[in-house]
Amino acid sequence: MGLDVPAIEKALLTGRWDDRLSSPSDAPAVKIARNVVNGDFGDLRTAPSRDLFAVTASAPEDVLARPLAAWFKFSEAAAGPATVEDELLRLVVAVACLHASLQANWTGPDLDIKPLDVLVLAPELSQVVTEDLLHQKAVAELAYGGEPAYHLAKAPLFLLLAKLLLDTPFQHLQSVPWWRLRAWRIHEQMLDEPAVVPPEVMTAVEPLLNSFAVEPDIAGRLLLEQGLLEHYVGNDKSAADYFVRAARATQLEYELTGALGKRTKFQHNDVTQLILLAESRTRADQEGDADSGDPAIDLKAADEKDGSTTAGTAAGPSSPDAAAPAMPETLALNDDTLLEHTAFTSSTTAGASGSRLAHLDPASQPALHPLDQSILLALCLNVKNLSPAHGLTAEQMAPYVARVISHPRNWTVHTMALLLRSRLEAHRTRTVERATLQLQALVDQMPSADSPVAERLRYVHELVLPSRWELERELARRFLALGVVKSALAIFERLEMWEEAVRCWQAMERPDHARAIVRDLLAGRKAEAETVLVRGKALSDARKAGLDAAREAKLWCLLGDLEPEHALEHYTRAWEVSGESSGRAMRSLGGYHFARGNYPEAIACLRKAVAINPLLSRSWFVLGCACVRQEDWEGARDAFVRCVTIDDEDGESWNNLASVYLRMGEVGKTAAAAEEDNGDKNENENDKAGNAAREAQPEGAEKRIPFSNKLLAFRALKQGLKYSYDNWRMWANYMIVSVEVGEFSEACRALTRVVEERAAKDGAACVDEDVLDKLVDAVTRGTGEASTAGNTEVAAAADAGANGNATATAHANANAETGLARRVTDLFERTILPRVSSPRIFRARARLLTAQGRYEDALNAYLDAYRAGPAGTMERGETDVEKWREAVGEVEEIVDVLRNFGPRVDGLKWQLQARSIVRTFMGRTRDFEDEPEWERLKTLQEEIRKED
């Protein structure tokens, strides 16, 4: 029987072996593949697997000087033609190495094979090549994108060998790009910070959806894994799209809705609770049930039997004949108020009308397939990625986790679900204890062998399961947040995570101890975290030579953080030690120079930092700010564009991007001089956007700032305000730019937000009266003569490069037809006047009311303006002549208003009111009878008498 290569490849990918693929005459690669799928990697010790790892160099000096890729024959022999059996052997061995690395560092239990066991060494090399040497070389070569690999990872050589084998040419196997995708995601999780993944990693797997991965579950796995890689490197929107496509591929039906239920023990009445209704498609072979021996366990029923701790074995199997699989320990809440689970009322009307899940009973939903559970957990992560950090987000994530936890189907999937629940519960006083203890239980279970290796590895690629050290780091951070500093410090020191250990010493007010630890590590006097400091010990040259360059650079950066007076020296040393490859060193140097105003040096350092690792938005942000200070508008624009590309919820970067657009000409030259401001960096950039927008207002400003740039600034601010809704400075900037581009409705909305935020503190000064006058002008000019041109035509004209003034005028006319008058009226009546007032505000409202034909209200508004102005507030005994002369003008103005509006108001004796105003004003200001303007008042009084 010939080799069924596609079936073997799919068995490797899904972790399920079909016995029909095996026969006594099978090639060795098939037997190895079966063992790998079953979680047995012992074949790596024997031929033909071990033959791939025969070290070719004979001289010890050659081995030590060459990279690991040059040690083995497969990297050279791959150039010739290879048979299907040869390629399958390489793939199977690569998968074995990859899964061995996962078992050692992610899923457990402890690995029973060592890297040295798989290498074929000549006798003269066996004395030189040791486990320590292999470990150090593997960690050093796994460093990527300026980020070091975790130096205490177990058996890192297995991951490196898997990547080397997968990078060799393959002609006959289709799934190799998929395994490269998996290897890259594991590699990313070993680094300190995510680095840029080569684009071909993602593009190479796309064709598989139309050829190899056509079955629903295979396609769902591939889409889910693509989304998880995008999620890990921070491309949240792309990840969300992949997660939804994965759900469609597996035909998973899910709906977030509400159902009646109780959450506390003392509730008498059912209230609506958030719930996730979900149902897997019916699979022909029901894999995941009988085939894998993992029947569903109902934790709710188990909780009724066991009130303290619920484990997979404690709950019992779903059928008396099936053996219950071992599951991670699930701790009970044991709270005096909250129920263990939300108790939903049995009903089949939970789904929305017409929903395909309306038939599900919220109190008894069917078990989900483990792959569908993995997709739900990914969608749960997506809720966090695309939502702000507050309690509502946690409430929205909880139903996804609860739906998965209710029916444990797979050890690794259930572990991930418990971890997510622990994270959600960490910030609530009633659940923080269980959250911490559950996290401790998950850490303790990793070395145990309570479940088969094959089950643990079956869905590990479909989850963002943290590594062992990351899980322990999370536990230590949880201890630190609870104030258990010494327990956290013990974990950090054991993991040799010195940055976190330093924070612990600083929290205990012992920065001197933190500095001593870092210096001893650099000097070689401290080799392991468990050893005590021995300051008098002689320096170990071997230790210093073996210290990985990336780790040493990181320590120098840490020392620079601890010793600000010598920071420049330490950061520079870190850059030199790393061979000019440490992104952390350049980020630190850039921040150092920026804080001291050395912007050219900061720009040079930060450009190197973002070239090494372009995924860190903070580096781009500081680079953009430095370019702004140097008036390098093109550089600033590019930097802030990268910021919002990485994190489109960064409102501050959107604001600064708008500021840059308002300072750019057609070809990126300075549009307006930047103001000198030594204030806070963030407030400085916010204010600059407003200053730049105001510089566009005087006559001729359009020549300096093209209308297209103003439109770009408007769009940037509009996007940024979605994520910085409470930032009143951004609203003020948005208001000004909106007026400049003719978006008066948006300007009205922005002014409303500014007044709401600042009225209590700034009073009438919070109202930009120039903008208010322009809003009223836009309404009054458009009344009765507004064009019917819609906003679509206006936007098209703007994009086509139409004249800015013409476009803004067209916007004004269109705005009058689309409810601007109503918006401005609401602005006065609901926002401004209930909070603040001033003469100019009253006059602006009077002009609006006049345009609307409401003459009585307009007259009252003018009178309110008079009473709030100098004439209305002038007291007897005033000596300021200039103020009095200004008040005389106001008296004449209000009398003219009464002449104009009085006859239009029925029953108003305007002459009597006008004569009263003049007489009262003259009575209060008789001290100015000798001034020439006094005669004007007497003449005015006489004219009113004649008109009466």
Tens of pLDDT along 609-627?
Answer: 999 989 889 999 999 999 9
Which residues contact residue 916 at a Cβ distance below 8 angstroms, ignoring those fewer than 6 apart? none
What is the mean predicted confidence (pLDDT) over 926-937?
Answer: 86
d(CA 546, CA 550): 12
pLDDT tens digits along 483-503? 999 999 999 999 988 889 988
Query: What pLDDT band is residue 24 in, cutting at 50, 70 and 90?
Result: low
What is the mean predicted confidence (pLDDT) over 337-352?
Answer: 80
Say yes or no to pLDDT of 792 above 80: no
Specify the DSSP element, H or E, that contains 338.
Answer: strand 338-344
Contact (CB, 8 A) for 310 and 395: no
Question: Which residues are bridge partners to 54 per DSSP?
Answer: 120
Lowest mean pLDDT among 14-18, 391-395, 669-673: 669-673
DSSP 524-577: TS--STTSPP-TTSPP-HHHHHHS-HHHHHHHHHHHHHH-GGGHHHHHHHHHHH
Instruction: Encode 372-409 in three state secondary structure.
Output: HHHHHHHHHHHHHHCCCCCHHHHHHHHHHHHHHHCCCC
Q: What's the token pair of residue 12? A: 């490797």
What three-state secondary structure class fits 261? strand
Q: What's the token pair of residue 937? A: 């008042």
d(CA 654, CA 727): 12
What is the mean predicted confidence (pLDDT) over 20-30?
Answer: 79
Sheet order of strands, 271-279 included? 271-279, 253-264, 338-344
Give pLDDT, residue 594. 96
pLDDT tens digits along 133-165? 899 899 999 999 888 899 899 999 999 999 999
Lowest mean pLDDT among 15-24, 456-465, 621-630: 15-24
pLDDT tens digits along 770-780? 999 999 999 98
What is the mean predicted confidence (pLDDT) over 237-241?
Answer: 93
Which residues contact residue 154 at a Cβ distance below 8 angstroms, ignoring those fewer than 6 apart? 104, 105, 111, 468
- Give the residue among 891, 861, 868, 883 at the shortest CA–CA distance from 927: 883
Give pLDDT, residue 649. 83
More confident residue, 519 or 185: 185
Query: What pLDDT band is residue 254 in, cutting at 50, 70 and 90?
Result: very high
Question: Which residues are bridge partners to 277 per DSSP?
Answer: 255
More confident residue, 536 or 241: 241
User: Which pairs from 300-307 meet CB under 8 Å and 24+ separation?
Assistant: 300/340, 300/341, 300/406, 303/332, 303/340, 303/341, 306/332, 307/332, 307/334
Q: Which residue is it, tokens 């309404």?
A: 779
Say yes or no to pLDDT of 797 above 90: no
First CA to last CA across the chain, in angstroms? 119
Say yes or no to pLDDT of 511 above 60: yes
pLDDT tens digits along 263-280? 999 999 999 999 999 999
What is the mean predicted confidence (pLDDT) over 910-916?
Answer: 88
d(CA 605, CA 601): 6
Give pLDDT, residue 523. 82
Q: What's the token pair of residue 292? A: 């894998």
15 — phi, psi (to 5°)?
75, 25
What is the mean predicted confidence (pLDDT) over 288-304?
Answer: 44
Specify the DSSP element, H or E, that contains 258.
Answer: strand 253-264
pLDDT tens digits along 38-90? 999 999 999 899 889 988 766 777 777 788 888 887 755 444 577 899 999 99
- Give the residue among 149, 106, 109 at the shortest CA–CA distance from 416: 106
Give pLDDT, residue 351. 59
Query: What pLDDT band is residue 816 in, cutting at 50, 70 and 90?
Result: very low
Lowest mean pLDDT among 304-313, 366-375, 705-714, 780-789: 304-313
For the stretch 368-388, what's the b/e string if a residue is b when 16 or more beta carbons lie within 10 angstroms of its beta carbon? bbbbbbbbbbbbbbbbbbeee
Radius of gyration over every alpha carbon of the chain, rounded to an integer in angstroms: 36
Contact (CB, 8 A) for 409 and 327: no
What three-state secondary structure class fits 55? strand
Distances (CA, A) of 853 to 781, 829, 832, 858, 904: 14, 17, 21, 8, 10
What is the mean predicted confidence (pLDDT) over 511-535?
Answer: 67
Say yes or no to pLDDT of 308 above 60: no
What three-state secondary structure class fits 463? coil
What is the mean predicted confidence (pLDDT) over 420-427?
Answer: 93
Contact (CB, 8 A) for 252 and 276: no
Give pLDDT, residue 858. 92
Query: What pLDDT band is residue 880 in, cutting at 50, 70 and 90?
Result: confident
Say yes or no to pLDDT of 320 above 80: no
Give pLDDT, residue 674. 36
Lowest mean pLDDT among 66-75, 220-229, 373-382, 912-921: 66-75
Give pLDDT, residue 686. 54
Angle between helices 216-232 and 5-14 (to 10 degrees): 50
Give pLDDT, residue 63. 74
Query: What pLDDT band is residue 529 in, cutting at 50, 70 and 90?
Result: very low
Say yes or no to pLDDT of 811 above 80: no
Contact (CB, 8 A) for 874 and 904: no
Please name the residue ranges forming H helices in 175-309.
Answer: 176-190, 199-203, 216-232, 236-249, 299-305
What is the mean predicted confidence (pLDDT) over 352-379?
Answer: 90
Say yes or no to pLDDT of 205 above 90: yes
Say yes or no to pLDDT of 944 above 90: no
Say yes or no to pLDDT of 287 above 80: no
Say yes or no to pLDDT of 795 above 70: no
Give pLDDT, residue 418. 97
Give pLDDT, residue 782. 61
Q: How many CB atoms lie within 10 A of CB 38?
A: 15
Give pLDDT, residue 99. 97
DSSP 617-631: HHHHHHHHHHHHHTT
What is the mean predicted confidence (pLDDT) over 207-223?
Answer: 93
Say yes or no to pLDDT of 285 above 90: no
Contact (CB, 8 A) for 538 and 563: no
Say yes or no to pLDDT of 302 above 80: no
d(CA 857, CA 850): 8
d(CA 16, CA 33): 11
Say yes or no to pLDDT of 632 above 90: yes
Specify the DSSP element, H or E, that contains 340.
Answer: strand 338-344
Give pLDDT, residue 800. 36
Lowest mean pLDDT among 84-93, 509-518, 535-544: 535-544
Give one word for 15, left, alpha or beta, with left for phi > 0 and alpha for psi -120 to 50: left
**Mean pLDDT (the chain, rounded):** 83
Lowest mean pLDDT among 26-40, 82-96, 433-447, 815-829: 815-829
Contact (CB, 8 A) for 619 and 611: no
- Give the residue among 926, 877, 872, 924 at the shortest CA–CA distance from 894: 872
Give pLDDT, residue 812. 44
Give pLDDT, residue 905. 85
Say yes or no to pLDDT of 819 above 70: yes
Contact (CB, 8 A) for 849 and 861: yes
Q: What's the token pair of residue 418? A: 């418990």
Contact (CB, 8 A) for 511 and 562: yes
Give pLDDT, residue 385. 63
Query: What pLDDT band is residue 180 in, cutting at 50, 70 and 90?
Result: very high
Share of the chain above pLDDT 90, in %: 55
Contact (CB, 8 A) for 687 and 729: yes
Distances (CA, A) of 655 to 715, 732, 912: 10, 11, 55
* 206 secondary structure, DSSP code: G
Give pLDDT, residue 356. 86
